[in-house]
Amino acid sequence: MTDRYCVFGNPIGHSKSPAIHAAFAAQTGETLEYTAIEAPLDDFADAWRTFIVQGGRGANVTVPFKEEAYRLCDVLSSRARRAGAVNTLLLGKNGQSSDAKVYGDTTDGVGLVHDLKQHGVALEGRRILVLGAGGAVRGVLEPLLAASPTSLLVANRTAAKAEALAQDFADLGAIRGGGFEGVSGPFDLVINGTSASLAGDLPPLPDALFADGATAYDMMYGAEPTVFLRWAAARGARCLDGLGMLVAQAAESFFQWRGKRPETAPVLAELRRSL
């Protein structure tokens, strides 16, 4: 039987994951089936169990099921425990069919850091600002702090939420949290982890936010730059969107499932052309 994988979400019709993993499989010579499954909002656990009965070996998980996926796992990676969420499920250690345990990981932060490095963005010794304090941000803080920035500020509309999030990661490095009103630059890297710019909204940020040579990174992506990236470009920042992060986190999932690490550059280039 062909090993089956999927991405769970709701909605999920827009997902690019099937195309990404089909390209990875072709590149690495792996035989597998990867589909998108819209799980019911009130019963993700049953959708996962049904998928396993039908030959499923692993899955990606996107909005709004990452926390539910976390609760399904028998074994969690350290970064998944930190994030309190899972975007990668694997049945059996290293895909071994004799192991019925469910393993969970979050690869979003690995994907972000990989994409930044691919673009030559240095993290060590740099001043980083991360906008937002939701699940998307929580999933990337550990890999960012592991890169040893000089400082990392989490800013959020609700200051208390950012402060609590920073406290959860305080043992990993120089991190603090606060409200948007307390943000003052300059920063070497500003990461937008909110979805506000997709709705045409921007956090109240000072014009003097970016250091010379700074990078602005939006974890969202689209055919056109987001509002945040347009704002950042007008203030002299180098701008990157989250499409590379999407491909890189998928590559990390693929490696965990199949033991082969695909090349992301050609897949990213094809996706970019298709937007």
Per-residue confidence (pLDDT) for residue 56, from 0 to 100: 95
Residues 6 or more apart whose CB falls under 8 angstroms from that of 72 comprise: 45, 48, 86, 89, 102, 104
For residue 116, give both structure tokens: 């930044």
Q: Spelled out in words, what is the top-level CATH class assigned to the domain 3-106+245-274?
A: alpha beta
Q: Is the confidence at residue 93, as pLDDT, over 70?
A: no
Distance CA 220, CA 83 (A): 19
Q: Is the confidence at residue 15, as pLDDT, over 80?
A: yes
Distance CA 207, CA 253 (A): 38
Q: What is the mean pLDDT of residues 214-236?
A: 95
Domains 3-106+245-274 and 109-241 share a fold: yes
pLDDT band at 97 (very low <50, low <70, confident <90, very high): low
Q: Quick one: what percent of the chain has pLDDT higher than 70?
A: 97
pLDDT tens, position by position, 29-54: 999 999 999 999 999 999 999 999 99
pLDDT tens, position by position, 154-185: 999 999 999 999 999 999 999 999 999 999 98
The letter for the amino acid at 174 is A
Tally of CB atoms within 10 A around 248: 24
Please give the CATH topology (third level) of the domain spanning 109-241. Rossmann fold (3.40.50)
Least confident window among 64-73, 98-107, 186-195: 98-107
Q: Please list the active-site residues.
A: 66
* 14-21 CB contacts, 8 Å cutoff, 24+ apart: 15/62, 16/246, 16/271, 17/60, 17/250, 19/271, 20/246, 20/247, 20/250, 20/267, 20/271, 21/250, 21/254
Domain ranges of the chain: 3-106+245-274, 109-241
